[in-house]
Structure 1
Amino acid sequence: MDSPELMLSDMLAAGLELNNRELARIVAEKSTETLLWTITELGVKYKPRLSHLGGHSVARTYNTANTSGSGIIKPMLAKCRDIGIPIRLKTSLAQFILNKSGAMEGVVVRENYIFPNRESGALKRIRAKRAVILATGGFSQDKEFRVIQDPKLTAEIESTNHQGATAEGLIAALKAGATPVQLSLIQLGPWASRDEEGFGVGSMFSMLAGFPYGILIDVRTGKRFINEQADRKLLVDAMLSSGRESIAIVDQKGGQHASTLDQCLKRGVVKQFESIEELAAANNVPLAPLKETIEVYNSLIEKDRNDTFGKPLPLDLLPLRHPPYYSIRLISKVHHCMGGLQINAEAQVVHIETHRPISRFYAAGEVTGGVHGASRLGSNAIPECIIFGRIAGMNAAAQKPRP
């Protein structure tokens, strides 16, 4: 049975207790009401079954009907249009404006901005009537900034995020006196494909099919080496150790859980085989240990369902005996920045010198830090963004308008 307490416990375990407990608890306690809000207020459509993603002790993730964040963003944009909220495209934040008392006054932006030319566009000053909310996301594509925070994340390491996932918004807030939190805590996604750029279609195949319903194999040995449903940090650390090259293997029964399977096959991200022998030969995996690994895995599924590596086995998991078989070549890519700006429970940005909230300044989502600690659980970014976005929005709306 799931509960906010169990979700918080999972978050703290993955985060190595580095989480801001107050913020993490808010995410755990408000997730259900936020899910219902997206349905009743925005009209978001979800698939009828829960998914069990890495690091969670139970299945608790609802996927949108189209298995994409656009399933939430598009209804949000439609709601903005319905209630008359203007959205400015090709507009880049240049700096924040503070008044003499240190309160947030507004922003300077560049209109008609052309990414990534930071000098493009015309400067324009915008005065905030009530408050400013910063929600510019993480900096996983800002290779210069991220390597300062973690020297291991060199420019050669790909990211799953869009090209605009850079640090300008964060840096502008720091210049305005915001407090940085845990900027070196940067997560890699262990489920990404070697055979496509970015997040692609293979990542969802791995998360929804390969890891929960299949096995993760060391190409050199043909053996499993970790709980496929472990949190992302544990998975990445295990996959990167000794230069290990890994593939995920699943059969027809397990593969059907990924709605991106057909796209993966068309793009060559996932390969299909009629036998384990063919799969092993194509991936240069030693056949004998691979077959033994699969036999042991099938045996534990059929008997006591007590996995050697502690993997939580789905109730509908079947032995790997149903061809065709699928494999995906895996590589870890920079995915999420756990660090960012310090906020309090009201989503107010905290000043680095006074340690008090900067008046009329709020932030939400990946641009903030502290919620997830050392490692974010799969899918937890979405409730975090929406929960603190709503808190920031309601508090900003409650501010007395400036004359």
Structure 2
Amino acid sequence: MSKTSWDESTDVIVIGSGFAGLAAAIEAAQAGCSVIVLEKRDSYGGNSWISGGALAAVDVVMQSRHGVVDSTRLMFEDMMRAGRTNDPELVRLVCIHSFEVLQWLRQDFGIEFMDRLEQLGGHSVPRCHSVEEIQGRNIINPMLERAASLKVDIRLNTCLEEIYQTSQGTAIAVRASLVSTPDRAESLTIEAKKAIILASGGFSGEAAGKDALRTSLSDSTGETLRIAERAGAALIDMEHLQMLPCASPDEQGRGVAAVFASYAIFPYGFMVNPATGKRFVNEWTDRKTRAEAMMALENFPVGIVDQQGLENVGEMIHEHMDDTVTRRFDSLAALADYHQLPEKALEETLQTYNSYVEKHLDEEFGKPIPAKAKPLNPPFYSVRLWPKAHSTMGGVRINPQAAVLDKAGKVIPRFYAAGEVTGGIHGVCRLGCCAITECLVFGRIAGRQAAIEDDIHEEWDEQISSHQEIKFQAVETLPPG
């Protein structure tokens, strides 16, 4: 195939239109590159669109105003402790640039975050910033507007089929299919004069299997990993799937349980084994620990919180309630009767837990007790909980410049990746709210790195000279704040 036989040509090709893909596209376009984004679905944003729109970031000024002491080092330690096998170089970048991407959204896109901080399971302190309405689309939409203003060409219904490479392995073009009707698809080839960036998301729907509670998007993006592997990419942590321990068997898709449990039950209430009426895990520990403890039970655990707990969360919690999922009871006896819990054991659990709240010390499971927490009293609210497939921990292996690595640990020239399609950043367990942070950090790195690649002006099938790389603040130590 000669150079002139490509159907189209652009500087940078991005696969995927979620947080990572849009961040990469915007950075590359701002650097003067022409950018084409290929999105397989018929709508923008993928899982990013339906996410909760909350990101973890060390904002020492805001946190100090709320009486919180935090640092990038503490965030790093939290992520490493939860992930167990994370790549420390990649984790450092997420932590160091967390405030930078938060400010990027605030200042460059005008995105508004609530004047409050959340502490999700596994975090040592409150550092999670929630966008208004807790909807990922409130971040995606302003990013789409910016991309449009920069003339980024986003193609819907366009699925990656193959990555073309030189004999030396340099990524130079893609083949994609245009899905015009369910039974007909057209193919086209697009040259990338600078680089290709993979940001296609994960494959939790495929990994979960037919019988698991699954994510609300039914189609998988796992095929892009197979394409990347054919291009020589090394895969890492593919055996690990994160289960979200705040879903409910009483609803489909995202629903209300995830926010209700994360913001109300886990910090201000408790969760019991329906067979015993007893607590069985630290409700605020990392997702992997909670999910495994829940799946070891014979039936769905029940999460319980009271009216005071809801008031601690604020008015926003009422938007995440549904009387078929989050049920209200005037007494503990009524709650026990409805869920068929052993009433006496449940009463003892409540009394014991309330004593921990009064002392602000959980002597049984070591759960951090929030400063605003008070002993639980009627009325009570409950939700049945069960983990569902949430995110895939594995993906292509990258270096701190977001360059895709081969099985020998060498860079595949002009091939980058960011977001859930990558592995190694979160290890075996991702902390809540770290996903968006990571997507934005590495999406921006990938876009900037792609932009500094030299254009391919000579015949593409000749050997390309050395691959240009720069260090993007890949520091060995973390600053204090």
* 1:334–1:44 distance in 2 versus 1, CA, 3 Å: same
CA contact (8 A) 1:96 1:172 kept: yes
CA contact (8 A) 1:137 1:365 kept: yes
- Tell me which residue corresponds to 2:196: 132
Letter in 1 for 2:340: N
Letter in 1 for 2:169: G
CA-to-aligned-CA distance 1:292-324 (integer Å, 9 cap, x gap): 111111122123534421111111111111x43
**2:268 & 2:320 partners in 1: Cα distance?**
17
Unaligned runs of 5+ in 2: 1-68, 458-481
TM-score (norm 1): 0.92
**2:180 & 2:237 partners in 1: Cα distance?**
30
CA contact (8 A) 2:259 2:320 kept: no
TM-score (norm 2): 0.78
- Tell me which residue corresponds to 1:268: 324
Q: 1:30 aligns with which of 97, 115, 119?
A: 97
1:62 aligns with 2:118: no
CA-to-aligned-CA distance 1:142-189 (integer Å, 9 cap, x gap): 1xxx2xxxxxx5420122242234301111111111001010011101
**1:260 & 1:286 partners in 2: Cα distance?**
32
CA contact (8 A) 1:190 1:236 kept: yes
* 1:301–1:242 distance in 2 versus 1, CA, 3 Å: closer
CA-to-aligned-CA distance 1:27-84 (integer Å, 9 cap, x gap): 1111111111111112211111110101111111001111121121111111111222
**2:257 & 2:360 partners in 1: Cα distance?**
31
Q: 2:448 aligns with which of 394, 399, 403?
A: 394
**1:7 & 1:349 partners in 2: Cα distance?**
25
Q: 2:172 aligns with which of 96, 99, 105?
A: 105
* 1:122–1:12 distance in 2 versus 1, CA, 3 Å: same
**2:235 & 2:359 partners in 1: Cα distance?**
50
CA apart distance, 1:263: 4.7
SS in 2 for 1:308: coil
* 1:239–1:361 distance in 2 versus 1, CA, 3 Å: same
Letter in 1 for 2:131: T
Percentage of pairs with the same residue:
40
CA contact (8 A) 2:271 2:301 kept: yes
What stretches of structure 1 move > 4 A for 4+ residues in a row?
A: 258-261
CA contact (8 A) 1:105 1:131 kept: yes
Matches within 5 A, 1:120-269: 120-142=184-206, 146=207, 153-256=208-311, 257=313, 261-266=317-322, 268-269=324-325
Unaligned runs of 5+ in 1: 147-152
**2:316 & 2:326 partners in 1: Cα distance?**
10
* 1:333–1:274 distance in 2 versus 1, CA, 3 Å: same
After superposition, the CA RMSD in angstroms is 1.7
* 1:318–1:120 distance in 2 versus 1, CA, 3 Å: farther
- Tell me which residue corresponds to 1:309: 365
- Tell me which residue corresponds to 2:75: 7
* Structure 1 stretch displaced more, 297-306 or 56-65: 297-306
Letter in 1 for 2:118: S
**1:113 & 1:11 partners in 2: Cα distance?**
43
